[in-house]
């Protein structure tokens, strides 16, 4: 993988996102790109008892597609903090490590953030600390091209049209695997709650060198 990778902001991003943080020399999180709707920037996917479940953070609707990510403001519509937490409890209360990490994540989710980028960065920092992952992360101070790096701003997306050549999802224990089979590339919290301190090994085993 390239020494430098450019990433979008992500709300409890997928395993593939954290694989980039694991393998890169430096990660540049772009707060200046135009916000893209229906992506991991404001949503994540967890494994519920009924299968994959998307959790979406509501944002203010002032034409977000022409707004820089750093200016996207959170909306308090629908009591989403409570709904997201209840969804996490329902999905992971029976997982091996939920009780060890739940309080740390809930403290972040309960804080009254104004901007999406601040919420996402606080969650990323907390999750990295819980996993034992210490990437070199830089928030960009302008929109940057990356001629010598790996641009994942559109690659890590539920709308991506091409497979990720640097990600090879390694299977791991999931609470509802017997019911739904292994669900790859869910939110990092799925890996954290199910594998705990072994999450780093799964990230290592999920990194793949891009083919020529």
Q: Output the pLDDT for position 212.
A: 42
Mean pLDDT calculated for residue range 161-176: 92
Residue 76's pLDDT is what? Answer: 83
Q: Does pLDDT of 96 surpass 50?
A: yes
CB 69 within 8 A of CB 32: yes
Stated pTM of the model: 0.93
**CA 74 from centroid of its chain's CA atoms:** 17
Cα–Cα distance, 134 to 131 (Å, whole number): 9
Would you say residue 2 has pLDDT above 70? no
21 near 128, Cβ under 8 Å?
yes
Instruction: Say how far apart CA 45 and CA 106 lie, in whole Å.
Output: 17
In tens, the pLDDT along 77-86 reads: 788 999 999 9
Q: pLDDT digit string (tens) for 122-158? A: 999 999 999 999 999 999 887 877 766 788 888 888 8
Among 48, 38, 70, CA closest to 160: 38
DSSP symbol at 4: E
CB 177 within 8 A of CB 209: no
Instruction: Round to whole Å and give the CA distance between 126 and 181.
Output: 29
Q: What is the DSSP string of 25-37?
A: SEEEEESSSBP-S
Between 67 and 45, residue with greater pLDDT:
45
Which burial class, exposed, middle or buried, applies to 190 when counting CB atoms under 10 A from its CB (0-12, 13-18, 19+)?
buried
Residues of the chain with pLDDT > 70: what percent? 93
Neighbouring-strand partners of residue 29:
7, 139
Across all residues in the chain, what is the average pLDDT? Answer: 92
pLDDT above 50 (res 211): no
* Crossing angle (nearest 10°) for helices 80-92 and 98-109: 170
């Amino acid at each position: 993988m390239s020494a430098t990778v450019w990433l979008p902001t992500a709300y409890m991003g997928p395993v593939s996102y954290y694989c980039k943080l694991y393998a890169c020399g430096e990660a540049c999180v772009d707060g200046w790109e135009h916000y893209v709707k229906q992506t991991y920037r404001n949503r994540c996917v967890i494994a519920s008892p009924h299968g994959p479940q998307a959790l979406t953070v509501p944002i203010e609707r002032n034409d977000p597609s022409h707004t820089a990510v750093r200016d996207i403001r959170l909306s308090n519509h629908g009591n989403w903090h409570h709904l997201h937490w209840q969804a996490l409890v329902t999905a992971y209360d029976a997982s091996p490590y939920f009780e060890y990490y739940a309080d740390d994540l809930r403290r972040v989710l309960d804080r009254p953030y104004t901007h999406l980028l601040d919420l996402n960065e606080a969650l990323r920092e907390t999750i990295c600390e819980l996993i034992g992952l210490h990437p070199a992360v830089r928030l960009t101070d302008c929109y940057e091209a990356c001629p010598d790096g790996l641009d994942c701003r559109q690659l890590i997306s539920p709308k991506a049209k091409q497979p990720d050549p640097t990600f090879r999802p390694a299977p791991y224990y999931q609470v509802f695997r017997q019911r739904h089979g292994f669900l790859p590339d869910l939110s990092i919290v799925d890996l954290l709650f199910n594998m705990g301190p072994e999450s780093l090994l799964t990230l290592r085993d999920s990194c793949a060198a891009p083919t020529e």
